[in-house]
Amino acid sequence: MLRAVLNDFRLWGGVSLITTRDVRLAGFSLCADRVVNLHREEYLRTLNDLVADVDAVLVIAPESNGVLARLSALVEERGRLLLGSSAEGVSVAGDKWDCFRRFSENNLPTPRTWRLSCAEALTAAEEIGFPLVVKPIDGVGCEGVSIASDSSSLRMALDLLHPWPESILLQPYLSGTHASVSLLVSETGVLPLSLNEQVLSVGVPFLYRGGTVPLDHMQRDSAFEYAERAVSLAPGLRGYVGVDMLLTERESYTIEINPRLTTSYVGLRQVIDINLAEAIWRACCDCVLPQKIILSGTASFDNNEEFGADGLA
C-alpha cells in the first residue's frame, strides 16, 4: 500500500516525498525523494524530527492499540496538515463498540452487538445463541475476529485473544457478501468511490485474503448511502476512509469504519480515472472532492498489500 500511494504522489508530481521504512525492510525499494530508516529505539524521536520538516503528512498505520490515533495526534500537535482523519476521528471510528452505538442510535442497519468481559461471554453466549462472531474492540484486517459455533469454539476464539482484554464484542453471525465502501471525505462533503468485495476465510480466526474492486451487487446504492451516513457520525474523518459492510439480498449492514487508507486502495487506483493521492490531498487541503469519477474494469488485490513498509508518507 505504501508503495502504491508513493507512486501515485510521484505520478501527480505536486509534492516532494519523504517516507519512513522499518530498518528491517531496508531492501524494500520505495519511490521517494528521501527514505528514512526507522529503528525501534529511536522511532518517536525520528518521526518528531521528520514531521517538523514537512508541510503535510499521510499516516499509514493500523488503529490497533491506538497506534494510528497517537501518530495522527503527533502531526496535529506540530501544526502540520494531516492527509487523513484527525486523532479524534480515528479514536471514535477505531472503537467498534462506539461505532455500533452511533449506528444504532441513527437507525443504520447493523448487527446487534454485546460488549462483555471474556468470562461473561462464556456464560452469555448460550443465552444469546450460536453462531456468534467474536471480535476485539479495535483491530484491523480481521485481527482477533473469529466465529464461534458452540461453547468449545468460543473458548478457542477467546484463547486467541490471550491475555484476555478487559472486554470483547459478540455479534450474531450473518450470512452474506463481505464488502466495503471506499470514500473520499472532506470537511464539507463525502463522496463514495467504490463498492469492494472482501475475500474472507471464516473460522477461528477469520482470515482476510484481499478482494476485488468494484463489486457488482444489488445493494450497491444502499451500501453507498449507509456508508456515507456512517462517516458523518464520526467527527474529524478526512481523506480516504473505508466502511465495512455485510450485504444480503434484502439489506446492507454497516459493520465498522476504517479511518485510514485500506487495502482496497491498491485495487481502486487501477480502475479509477483520477489520481487518488492527488484527490486525498485536495480533499484534506482544499476541501475539494472530484465532480465525477469513472471506474473501468476490475482489479484484485491481496492482504500482502495492507501496510507494506509501515510509516509516514
Q: What is the pLDDT of residue 28?
A: 83
Q: Which amino acid is at 65?
A: N
- Across 18-25, average pLDDT: 91
Q: What is the pLDDT of residue 306?
A: 52
When the pLDDT of each residue in the chain is averaged and rounded to a whole number, the result is 94
Q: Which residue has the higher pLDDT, 245 or 26?
A: 245
Assess whether pLDDT exceeds 60 at residue 308: no
- Across 219-248, average pLDDT: 98
Selecting from 3.60.20.10, 3.30.1490.20, 3.40.50.10860, 3.90.180.10, what CATH number does the domain 114-172 have?
Answer: 3.30.1490.20
Task: Burial-class residue 68 by CB neighbours within 10 Å (0-12, 13-18, 19+).
Answer: buried
Is the Cβ–Cβ distance between 209 and 201 less than 8 Å? yes
Closest CA to 63 of 77, 33, 37, 84: 84
Q: Which residues pair with 198 in a beta bridge?
A: 211
**What is the DSSP annotation of 183-196?**
EEE-SS-EEEEEEE
> Given this chain, do its domains 97-108+174-302 and 114-172 carry the same CATH topology?
no
Assess whether pLDDT exceeds 60 at residue 181: yes
Q: What residues contact 280, with CB distance under 8 A and at least 6 apart?
A: 58, 83, 84, 184, 239, 240
Assess whether pLDDT exceeds 80 at residue 114: yes
Q: pLDDT category, 27, cuts 50, 70, 90? A: confident
Q: What percent of the chain has pLDDT over 70?
A: 97
The b/e string for 92-103 (b: 16+ C-beta within 10 A; e otherwise) is bbbbbbbbbebb
Alpha helices in the chain (DSSP H): 2-12, 43-52, 67-77, 87-93, 96-105, 118-128, 151-159, 220-232, 264-271, 276-285
Domain parsing of the chain, residue ranges: 2-90, 97-108+174-302, 114-172
Residues 61-95 pLDDT 10s: 998 889 999 999 999 999 999 999 999 999 999 99
**What is the DSSP annotation of 239-308?**
EEEEEEEEE-SS-EEEEEEE-S--THHHHHHHHBSS-HHHHHHHHHHT----S---B-S-EEEEGGGSSS
> CA-to-CA distance for 39 and 32, rounded, in angstroms?
19
- Across 199-222, average pLDDT: 96
Please, what is the end-to-end C-alpha distance for the chain in angstroms? 11
Question: Taking the mean position of all CA atoms in its chain, how far away is CA 283?
Answer: 18
Supply the angle between the helices 264-271 and 2-12 in degrees, to the nearest 10.
30
Q: What is the CATH number of domain 2-90?
A: 3.40.50.20
Residues 116-140 pLDDT 10s: 999 999 999 999 999 999 999 988 7
* H/E segment holding residue 57: strand 56-57
CATH architecture classification, 97-108+174-302: 2-Layer Sandwich (3.30)
Q: What is the pLDDT of residue 141?
A: 72
Assess whether pLDDT exceeds 50 at residue 311: no
